[in-house]
Amino acid sequence: MEILISFIIPFIILLTVVVFIHEYGHYYYAKKYGVGVTDFSIGFGKEIFGFNDKSGTRWKFCAIPLGGYVKFFGDRNVFSQAEQEELLKRYNKEDQEKLFVVKPLYQRSIIVAAGPFANFLLAILIFAFIYMFSGKDFTPAQIQEVQLETPAYDVGIKSGDIIKSINGKEVKSIMEVSTFINSSTTETIDIGIVRNNKEMNFLVKPKTILGEDALGNKANKKIIGIKVAPLNDEINKKRLGPATALFYAVKETWFVIDASWSFIISMFKGTGDTTQLGGPIKIAKITGQVAKLGFIAFLSIMAYISISLGFINLLPIPMLDGGHLMFYAFEKVLGRPLTQRTQEGFFRIGLFLLLSLMFFTTFNDLKDLGLF
């Protein structure tokens, strides 16, 4: 019962919200452009409960709450691009207008892209809400101590230096120091500091150690050998107005997207730390831990998971939204859709990649739990 309350329920609530927003993005633009929608599902498998709306869409919640889908009228799956001539023969003139495949290329592209971008919008709204009602930290980060024989000590960073930037990103809060260092995918980190009103830059090669994150979970951490403290021991947290909150919310969302993309590139280069990749088990564990810290913390993790869901779905992998957008790019170049046979070949590749990723992340999750 404790596991149910502490981990499973918060996880289901979080996943339901971010999946609903994602699928509603698809649904909203499908309805806007006259595409028929037969199913709007949260989860997969057997339906637990649901209802039909006036337009005939079945809204349902299914037994396996690890995703969702919107099924369009006449399609075998969410965004299948069947051979159009054969498909059109099955329907009368009125029903043909409801088919997804007959819509202009730009409308199909918007419908597909709307899901991931709805996730980004949700994150922006959450961050803006937090910054307006809870506040955003603007405490300058001053180096309190430089440990001997560490990367920072070796390059000449000193106690009392004020950190102004990391890898070209302006550091506006003491909270950003660890985030910027650990999200770096480069071999060296460019630390910009101010010392005696003079700006200086140091290239530091961090060490990677096995430590614990803020929640007590095991994690590989990059360290350069410094301890930071608030400048003049003063915490500066401000509640922001709507426009300023929105600006920083967009900035934070973009930072996560950019860091995610850099991580993907680093994996292809063989320098990324794949041990930190996690699946549903790890997400459920972290969600439960964060939920115990309060509503604002829970909203924050929801925003980050929403960004991750949107980002992953934009990857050019068949079966994901990005894969369909890739098909539409081919269609634009070729002047015609790819054949069903060609797309099915791509889908098999995509299925293999997704199953491999699921296996790998599940292995990491079980390893994190000490089962391997």
Output DSSP code: residue 240.
Answer: P
d(CA 174, CA 172): 7
Q: List active site positions.
A: 23
d(CA 191, CA 179): 13
9-32 and 280-291 helices cross at what angle (nearest 10)? Answer: 110
d(CA 133, CA 129): 6
Q: Which of 285, 314, 286 is nearest to 300 (CA)?
A: 286
Q: Going along the chain, which residue ranges are E strands?
A: 37-52, 58-72, 136-137, 141-146, 162-166, 169-170, 189-195, 198-204, 207-212, 218-223, 226-230, 237-238
Tokens for 57, please give them. 């869409």
Q: Which residue has the tokens 């509603």?
A: 24
- Sign of the CA dihedral running 284, 289, 291, 297: negative
Helix (H, G, I), strand (E, B) or coil at 65: strand
Tokens for 39, please give them. 């199913």
Instruction: Please check whether residue 337 is in contact with residue 346, taking contact to mean a CB–CB distance below 8 angstroms.
Output: no
Instruction: Please check whether residue 27 is in contact with residue 49, taking contact to mean a CB–CB distance below 8 angstroms.
Output: no
How many CB atoms lie under 10 A from the CB of residue 94?
7
Output DSSP code: residue 139.
Answer: P
